[in-house]
Amino acid sequence: MKALIFAAGKGTRLKPFTDHHPKALAKVNDVPLLERNIKYLKGFGIKDFVINIHHFGDQIVDFLNKNDNFGCNIEISDETSELLETGGGLIFARKFLDHGEDFLIMNADILTNININALVEYHKKIKDFATLAVSDRESSRKLLFNDDMVLRGWLNVQTGEQRLAEFNKGFKALAFSGVHCINPAIFEKIKRKGKFSVMEEYLDLMQTEHIHGFVHDSLLIDVGRPESVIEAEKHFK
């Protein structure tokens, strides 16, 4: 299985580090996030990667070259000319991913110990085009699922704003974990072009398609702020 790692973002919450570096190279206990996630996924047998770059992308390329791609096959989806967000980045990387095989997507600034094998197994069993890893944890935005773990809505916890595919019948509110398993059939379903969030597309597609959530209780830290680096260093040695 191939994995797409989103490493293009500007990482503004991680300033001042990201004034001069890509957030994917921010270190937790002296090990860059990108290195941690390549090795984490490699631990599940994944050795083929696509990494998208934009903000100080040359530093990511140099880092990978210096480390011989950590013994993996790595292709670069170069968004230097325009940052396309997660949805646009996925479409831009289509040529690397649209080969009939399921693939994994992961955000570079997530550290987790989710069992990737269990996620992939669940995804293949339900035969969806998209399965999203989710967990019951604090988050300002939640995804809403019915009893069959099919995506039916989105909730802004702070404002109460909702987007629903149907009346909220006591849906489970769970936080997206930044890890998803995808079937390339998604490329025919996505309607947007240019710069957009893949979550916006999921919330449109939930009206007509089944998108499932995979619930995990694994550790997950969004290393998006300096204080979350300190928290991550307690758990990821």
Determine the pLDDT at residue 226: 86
As a whole number of angstroms, the distance between CA 112 and CA 175 comes to: 14
* pLDDT of 169 strictly over 90: no
Q: Confidence band (pLDDT; 50, 70, 90) for 90? A: very high
Determine the pLDDT at residue 171: 97
Query: Six-digit token pair at 116?
Result: 């990737």
Determine the pLDDT at residue 50: 98
Determine the pLDDT at residue 128: 87
The domain containing residue 16 runs over which residues? 3-235
Q: Strand, helix or coil at 92?
A: helix
Look at the chain and report how many structural domains it folds into. 1
**Mean pLDDT over each residue of the chain, to the nearest integer:** 96
As a whole number of angstroms, the distance between CA 20 and CA 5 comes to: 21
Q: Calculate the alpha carbon distances from 164 to 1, 38, 148, 155, 171 in Å.
A: 33, 35, 16, 9, 10
Residue with tokens 């009939």: 100
Per-residue pLDDT tens digits for 174-216: 999 999 999 999 999 999 999 999 999 999 999 999 999 999 9
Per-residue pLDDT tens digits for 31-75: 999 999 999 999 999 999 999 999 999 999 999 999 999 999 999
As a whole number of angstroms, the distance between CA 110 and CA 36 comes to: 10
Determine the pLDDT at residue 225: 86
Per-residue pLDDT tens digits for 214-229: 999 999 999 988 889 9
Query: Six-digit token pair at 55?
Result: 């903000």
- Tell me what the mean pLDDT of segment 147-165 comes to: 96
